[in-house]
Chains A and B, each alone.
Chain A
């Protein structure tokens, strides 16, 4: 019997609405949910490949307890009961000796993050963190410093924009289906695309204007753009008068940063910078300088991300059709939001966080997410206090946090590592216990409060029953809490009960999602009046170019520009990483269909520099940083700036049981230095210098 189940994808973090065709209990086909405007039937390759995730025999099939040394791959298959007992006993010993604060829980932000937060609060630990800082912590801080909102509360009106400007935001390879579909339609109607990246991506090859910028100098370009925009009065005067504070400070600040100066920094001709500023001015306010994702690049990242928002502010494009907009919540539509477990009266932890976020040492990052890459040093230095247990919930510190060897050293110092995972990820393999989670197609999940111009709620509805002995994450955590005597904050035993509890205040019911997979609070688009009604959440109610958030924490809003160092030695390059359309971070390399398309990563290297080094296309090269080295295939090309080499993130897996991806390519995290933008909170993923040599030669 065939049926259609409307659900939400989870092959990456975007959660595109999908329609799953199910035949006799088997997933037959996955496509976009065409009831959702702007998506139609479309879905990306990862989304279609969800079918091979469910059916994968190489994923974790039942609870496992380690029987040999960590990472040895010796496992005992156990019952859920035994796994819970094991964890509960260990945790009791740990918390008796070191307190609840010694427990960490890291995860990729997801629909049931409120459940994990509650779990940790019940234990009495402040140490919940997400993968967000690794991805866009500095963007988050930049956004809050200027607008008073987090980046997650901002959307882009791709469908109506006249010009989209992307700084390494590889929209056509790091695919979010709706923006891709909407923007490619906009391009057909004449929207322009400017793309800036030291490497030619698919997005670059679709752009009207592409600049191969010198790595790490985008900030110089932006200061020069501001210089021209202010100098030639190209900004939206009314908007700036009404909504921007600190404009005079900006005018004074950007005076020395002329296009000629920027040409020297960036390699982009001054005349082109001027032309670009003028073109944008003629299209304002329907322009978007995209603030990016996975934008953890440099130690001054925060100032670069701020500069993007400032350009939008000058163009008057914030809360404007064809520009950026603030996502509106249920309250704006007269409705009530989905309830979360964290809305309950939970015990408040009295300790500071492991990463010291929220203290004078690290005042500005978002404590809602924490700063994941601080974990290894906090564990190893027992600073601020001993940390003894880690729950890794679909979060892999070994491949996500820079400097894998250092992270592994820290993990060795822990008394307990528990993974809740679907795949044999690096961290699952290194854990003491693995609790296998059902895939997104095999479980119902917490409802998604989807804010936007039309606030909606989406529901991930279960499409098929679990193939193996797996359970939904929120049920796992509830059962574990129950076993530890902390069940009082978990008013459910099944996902259905949890969803009902969460939906109760909204007036919607589970059955309302059957037909289309979502419900809407309103059929009207909620936009604020850009002349009078934008509700910036900064103390001044304006876009704060001189930021109270930063200044009060003792940081300047406009520090003088500092030039990015150039790799000096003849074999040295800046390591730059990124994504392709077929893989998500570190989690899909072993997927049957996706692995077939992109089985390993290679090292992009500039043709002229490769020739100097005696490296030919497809040669095996050794790439080495101060931390580690690896062997990888060279891709010699003119399509990358001579100062940097590039590799895809997420390869070089070391788990034998994930056979397809085992030892294919090199892990970028292994090579990278663990350094942080201490104001924004992101790791600086492009601050590692590597040397490259032909592996055929003897040194």
Chain B
């Protein structure tokens, strides 16, 4: 499991995809690959109200990543210091094994370089004291980046606000 965690408050997400574009622009990607994705379900009626669910899907940086296990060259690897799963473009031979191994469709094919590309949790940005690109730009600030143990606290705070409004 990665030391870090990306958390999305679905209630606030408006499905604008600023995160998707930010991720692509940071990685300088052409048309095609999208290391993070916003999956839209709906709109559909929930009781009297129309509702849409937007789910933010980057890489989960799994505890035992199948992509890493499957990669024949060692290009896909998990960093020991923080558990971030990244692909080393120098070692990647573009065999697409990781793409078929990941159940979440996280690694993507970059047709320009012929190599795999994926969410690397913007480790260069994190190391520079910045937030990941997707989190940075989100207009509703529904994305939260932190360590897993911070999440319950964030969640609690947001839930408390919602409760206060109901009462």
Contacts and interface: CB of A to CB of B under 8 A. Distances in A.
Contact of A593 (B24, B138, B158): B24
Nearest to B16: A581
A41 B43 contact: no
Interface string B1-44: 00000000000101111101110111000111000000000110
Contacts, number: 115
A406 B50 CA distance: 39
A506 interface: no
B20 A190 contact: no
A181 B43 contact: no
B139 A44 contact: yes
Interface stretch (A48-56, A353-361, A550-558): A48-56
B25 A47 contact: no
A637 B43 CA distance: 9
Contact of B16 (A40, A41, A175): A175
A198 to B, nearest CB: 12
A175 B14 CA distance: 10
Interface stretch (A103-111, A201-209, A256-264): A201-209
A184 B164 CA distance: 16
Interface string A188-215: 1110000000001010111100100000
Interface stretch (A25-33, A85-93, A142-150, A428-436): A25-33
B167 to A, nearest CB: 10
Given A202-B52, A204-B43, A596-B31, A49 B21 contact: yes
Given A29-B26, A31-B136, A639 B50 contact: yes
Q: Which of B21, B26, B165 has the most chain A CB atoms inside 10 A of its CB?
A: B21
Interface in B134-156: 136-142
Given A51-B25, A639-B43, A188 B18 contact: no
Contact-residue size bin, chain B (C-beta under 8 Å from the other chain): 35 or more
A202 B14 contact: yes
B141 A593 contact: no
A43 to B, nearest CB: 5
Given A188-B161, A190-B165, A47 B43 contact: no
Contacts of A52: 25
B14 A210 contact: no
A638 interface: yes
A597 B31 CA distance: 10
B66 to A, nearest CB: 27
A30 B25 contact: yes
A694 B99 CA distance: 39
A181 B136 contact: no
Given A29-B133, A30-B25, A204 B50 contact: yes
B42 A205 contact: yes
B18 A47 contact: yes
Nearest to A178: B139
Nearest to B46: A205
Contacts of A207: 49
A124 B137 CA distance: 46
B31 A581 contact: no
Nearest to B166: A190
A172 interface: yes
B43 A200 contact: yes
B108 to A, nearest CB: 13
B16 A200 contact: no
B139 A43 contact: yes
Q: Which 6 pairs from chain A and chain B are nearest by CB?
A: A190-B165, A581-B16, A172-B14, A205-B52, A184-B140, A45-B18
Given A29-B133, A205-B43, A638-B45, 19 more contacts: A31-B22, A41-B131, A42-B137, A44-B16, A173-B16, A177-B139, A180-B14, A184-B142, A185-B141, A188-B158, A190-B161, A200-B50, A204-B50, A205-B50, A205-B51, A581-B17, A594-B21, A596-B31, A597-B17
Interface of A: 28-32, 40-45, 47-49, 51-52, 172-173, 175, 177, 180-181, 184-185, 187-190, 200, 202, 204-207, 210, 581-582, 592-597, 637-639
30 contacts: A29-B22, A41-B136, A41-B137, A42-B139, A42-B141, A45-B18, A45-B20, A47-B18, A48-B21, A48-B137, A51-B25, A172-B14, A173-B14, A180-B139, A181-B140, A181-B141, A184-B12, A187-B12, A188-B12, A188-B158, A189-B164, A190-B164, A200-B50, A202-B52, A205-B42, A207-B49, A581-B17, A592-B30, A594-B21, A639-B50
